[in-house]
Amino acid sequence: MQKVNVVCVGKLKEEYLRLACGEYEKRLSRFCKLKICELSECKTLKEEGEHIIKNSSGYKIALAVEGAKCSSETFARKIKAACDKGEELTFIIGSSCGLDEAVKSSADERLSFSAMTFPHQLMRIILLEQLYRAFMINGGGEYHK
What pLDDT, on a 0 to 100 scale, did the predictor assign at position 145? 59
Residue 144 has pLDDT above 60, yes or no: no
The DSSP line for the chain is -EEEEEEEES---SHHHHHHHHHHHHHHTTTEEEEEEEEPP-SSHHHHHHHHHHT--SEEEEEEEEEEE--HHHHHHHHHHHHHHT--EEEEE-BTTB--HHHHHHSSEEEES-SS---HHHHHHHHHHHHHHHHHHHTT-SS--
What pLDDT, on a 0 to 100 scale, did the predictor assign at position 5? 97
* Domains of the chain, earliest start first: 2-138 (3.40.1280.10)
What pLDDT, on a 0 to 100 scale, did the predictor assign at position 140? 85
pLDDT 10s digits, 8-49: 999 998 999 999 999 999 999 999 999 999 999 988 999 999
